[in-house]
Amino acid sequence: MAAPNTFLVPVLLLLLCGLGPYPAAARSHPGVECVLFNEEYMNCTWGNKEMPTVNYSLFYWYKNTSDKEVECKHYLQNQGVRVGCHFKQNELIQFQPFHVLINASVGGKTLEIPSKRMELQDLVKPEAPVNLTIHNMSNNQLQLTWASPYPKDKCLEHAVKYKSNKDTSWTELSVNGDVFSLPSVDYEKSYTFYVRSKINNYCGRTQFWSEWSVPVIWGSNSTSKGTKEQLYWFGIRTVLVPIASCLLLVVLVILLVRMERVWVILMPRIPNPSKNFDELFITHNGNFQEWTGVPKDVVESFKPNYSESICYVTELPQKDSHEPLWDSSNHAPPPMPGPPATHSEHSPHQNSYGTV
């Protein structure tokens, strides 16, 4: 029975201590996670699973460089509580053991998270690749190229995933270098490509992949030339169409404001003269004199101020004629009432007329 127990002791020690120094160095304390972004800056955060209720302080040092602890200079806060520390590029040293100590004082007691040994080259997360370009090769072959913002491109390995518009799942392949070739494509399909990067085993043991790049599309309606055309039409739809719509709306508003004037120009109104005489019949009751404003003395001057008497006219017979002017069988004309008219002496050959 002693032999099996003796065999289990080393196995348990291996499980507790890990398989070697490097995996243990790559892991940080469960409450602390440090990520070195593109070797430009690093963030160490804690309380990712549970929001801390007190402000912790972080101290760090590099073994074999200086044993002096240095407190974090730039804390990250969330709702006024410290949740991390930001390190600038001049504060970072790779290939040196890196230690952190996080503690807090609560009610006279000190809460402490012990330091753990880390290697910064194992914590690098590069930026996503950029400038993805597709080249048409011979024999229905495509070649995909890209560039990486990471300063040490020889330390990178890449992964490419793609699928056509007829596929339901993605195909992901590992690539060394910045060129990927797809040997056979169907010109009746369109293909979408993504690329991401990670530090290779020659420069570190990180497990942090970059984010996926912006996709590039190739297909029956989208070659590398077609991609530019898509971007062109995308710009037209997102920029020119809204601007044109706004201008049209402004023109319509102006036309609505000036619609009455435009309508008068296109369809002139027929004049209605009755409105001009409303004052004559309503205000002056049809009195034209008052309406026109003619003075009363002017109106009186046009009235007649004299009287005219009746004038009687008699026709005298000719001189050599003995016949009366009327028939003898008839009676003489009755005399007209009124005073006799005064006759003036005339020649016997002339008629007598009265003057007015």
How far is residue 243 CA from its own chain's centroid? 9
Mean pLDDT in residue range 75-101: 88
| pLDDT band, very low/low/confident/very high, at 27 (cuts 50, 70, 90) | very low
How far apart (Å, rounded) are the C-alpha atoms in residues 220 and 225? 11
Following DSSP, what letter does each residue of 282-316 receive, concatenated? IISTT-HHHHHT--HHHHHHTS----------BPP
Mean pLDDT in residue range 177-194: 88
Could you read off the pLDDT of 63-83 as tens digits, one per residue?
A: 876 668 889 999 998 888 888
Mean pLDDT in residue range 81-91: 90
How far apart (Å, rounded) are the C-alpha atoms in residues 139 and 141? 5
pLDDT for 268 equals 72
Q: Which of 29-43, 154-168, 172-186, 271-285 has the lowest mean pLDDT?
A: 271-285
| pLDDT band, very low/low/confident/very high, at 137 (cuts 50, 70, 90) | confident
pLDDT for 220 equals 64
CATH class of 127-221: mainly beta
Q: Is it the case that residue 345 has pLDDT exceeding 50?
A: no
| pLDDT band, very low/low/confident/very high, at 342 (cuts 50, 70, 90) | very low
Q: Is it the case that residue 180 has pLDDT exceeding 90?
A: yes
Question: Domain extents for the chain?
Answer: 18-122, 127-221, 223-268
Query: Regarding the domain with residue range 18-122, which homologous superfamily does it belong to in the CATH classification?
Result: Immunoglobulins (2.60.40.10)
pLDDT for 221 equals 57
Could you read off the pLDDT of 151-161 as tens digits, one per residue?
A: 888 899 999 99
- 18-122 and 127-221 share one CATH topology? yes
Mean pLDDT in residue range 106-124: 79
Share of the chain above pLDDT 90, in %: 22
Type of residue at 333: P
189: CB partners within 8 A, 6+ apart: 164, 165, 166, 219, 220
Torsion-angle region of residue 165: left (phi > 0), alpha (psi -120 to 50) or beta?
alpha
Q: Which of 135-139, 179-183, 244-248, 249-253 has the lowest mean pLDDT?
A: 135-139
